[in-house]
Amino acid sequence: MAKSSAPGPLPAPHALSPALVLLMATATGLAVASNYFAQPLLPTMARELGLSVPKAGIIVTTAQMGYAAGLLLIVPLGDLFERRGLIVAMTLLAAAGLLAIALAPGIGMLLVGTALTGLFSVVAQILVPFAATLAAPEERGKVVGTIMSGLLLGILFARTVAGALTPLGGWRTVYWVGAGALVLMAVVLRQVLPRHHQPVALSYPRLIHSISTLFREEPVLRLRSLLGACAFANFSVFWTSMAFLLAAPPYRFTPGTIGLFGLVGAAGALAASGAGRQADRGRGDLVTASALAILLCSWLPLAFARHSLVAFLVGVLLLDLAVQAVHISNQTAIYRLRPEVRNRLTAAYMTSYFIGGAAGSLASASAYSRFGWPGVVTVGVAFSVCGGLTWLLLRGRT
């Protein structure tokens, strides 16, 4: 993958047609979904591989840490290389990671494949700033909101698809199907994405180092990164242990049934799709503050999830709506800072975002193994409070 010798022209905003937005949203969702197939399958995988609950949780944590490493080390390459070629290559490498998982004889190879998939599925985070670059300024928030809805829907539908495919051929089936889908998507993206390259006069080490410079110089980036970390930690706290709760008494649901709850989360994510349009109208801060309040409140019905499926469903809707609204308002805010470094802004923000997610997964698995579902709820409330306090204390400094 060689660097272009000269910068290519910036595609005109009209190059981003509604059909292309939909395709990019689908590609984003498919790429990130590959990191989340395991969550509803953790009890099944744990039984087959002889793993304890905390060790099974390491599968999710490995995926998110691989994703965080890719965000920091690979996403900035979007400012260095031609983007279409980079996107296609990364999509194929993510498919290779899924194949490694499907073929894994034990936990060792499974974790290697999981890390590889996480590392290269960050192609989703190259697609997002690419879409922001192609979009007209007055529609940027709407476009980012659509692409990010695709991302979160991919995360949530991954659980449904994984649960539905498991009865057909075991938990490995979804990884075979996912790998094939990524290869097909790579072929389509190669055909329809416009070529785009705006090279920077930096070596790779200096490019990576410049991310820390952005953190120092941009208080909005620091604030939004912390908020994103707290929000996605909440998301991971819930979804990491959700399968264990629903597989245990009194529910005793199968992986297929557990996966269907991803549809409920998807409804919550879609309800937040208007957050980008509100940000375009100058109401981004209001969206953020409201979403943080809803996020904290979501844990009240979830506290009763062991005894009430209705409370569980209400909590899922509120939590996923809030996480998505925070995320969209965050990205809309940072993409206004420096258009020429959007990939590095994305790398900085999303690295924090997925470190928060990995911390949430690890804390959730540990809390559930020691204290059951009440421990999970306590951890979720703690992360929600951290997000609210971060907004209240730092908002005035941006």
Q: What's the pLDDT tens digit per position in 206-241?
A: 888 888 899 899 999 999 999 999 999 999 999 889
Is residue 7 one of the residues assigned to a domain?
Answer: no
Q: Exposed, middle or buried, 13 (CB in 10 Å: 0-12/13-18/19+)?
A: middle
pLDDT at 87: 95
Is residue 10 one of the residues assigned to a domain?
Answer: no
Least confidently predicted of 199-213, 244-258, 266-280: 266-280
Q: What's the pLDDT tens digit per position in 339-362?
A: 778 878 888 898 888 789 889 988
| Total count of residues recorded for the chain | 398
**DSSP state for residue 47 in the 8-state scheme:** H
Q: What is the mean pLDDT of residues 76-103?
A: 91
Q: What's the pLDDT tens digit per position in 166-176?
A: 888 888 999 99
Write the CA distances from 46 to 57, 105, 343, 389, integer angstroms: 9, 13, 37, 37
Q: Prior bond to 250 cis, omega within 30?
A: yes
- pLDDT over 70 at 52, yes or no: yes
Q: What's the pLDDT tens digit per position in 143-171?
A: 877 887 788 778 778 878 888 888 888 88
Write the CA distances from 13 to 130, 141, 161, 274, integer angstroms: 11, 14, 34, 21
Is residue 3 one of the residues assigned to a domain?
Answer: no
pLDDT at 339: 78
How far, in Å, CA of 230 to CA of 255, rounded? 28
- pLDDT over 70 at 4, yes or no: no
Is residue 389 one of the residues assigned to a domain?
Answer: yes
Q: Exposed, middle or buried, 304 (CB in 10 Å: 0-12/13-18/19+)?
A: middle
Per the CB < 8 A criterion, the answer to whether 56 and 77 are in contact is no
Q: What's the pLDDT tens digit per position in 273-284?
A: 677 777 777 788
Q: Exposed, middle or buried, 68 (CB in 10 Å: 0-12/13-18/19+)?
A: buried
Q: CA torsion angle for 129, 20, 194, 209 (degrees, to 10)?
A: 10
- pLDDT over 50 at 10, yes or no: no
- pLDDT over 70 at 200, yes or no: no
Is residue 9 one of the residues assigned to a domain?
Answer: no
Is residue 168 one of the residues assigned to a domain?
Answer: yes
pLDDT at 398: 63
pLDDT top residue among 397 and 23: 23
Is residue 2 one of the residues assigned to a domain?
Answer: no
Per the CB < 8 A criterion, the answer to whether 380 and 357 are in contact is no
Q: What's the pLDDT tens digit per position in 318-341?
A: 998 999 899 889 988 998 888 778
Tell me which residue of 70, 382, 273, 270 sits closest to 390, measured CA to CA.
382
The whole-chain average pLDDT of the chain stands at 86
CATH number of the CATH domain containing 293: 1.20.1250.20
Number of structural domains the chain divides into: 1
- pLDDT over 60 at 1, yes or no: no
pLDDT top residue among 51 and 84: 84
Instruction: Give me the domain span that covers residue 385.
Output: 16-397
Is residue 1 one of the residues assigned to a domain?
Answer: no
Q: pTM score, two decimals?
A: 0.74
Q: What is the mean pLDDT of residues 240-261?
A: 86
Tell me which residue of 314, 292, 295, 294 sits closest to 305, measured CA to CA.
314
pLDDT at 6: 40
**DSSP state for residue 201 in the 8-state scheme:** S
The H-assigned helical ranges of the chain are 18-33, 42-49, 53-73, 83-103, 107-120, 124-134, 140-169, 173-192, 204-217, 219-247, 255-271, 275-280, 284-302, 309-334, 342-371, 373-394
Q: What is the mean pLDDT of residues 43-53?
A: 80
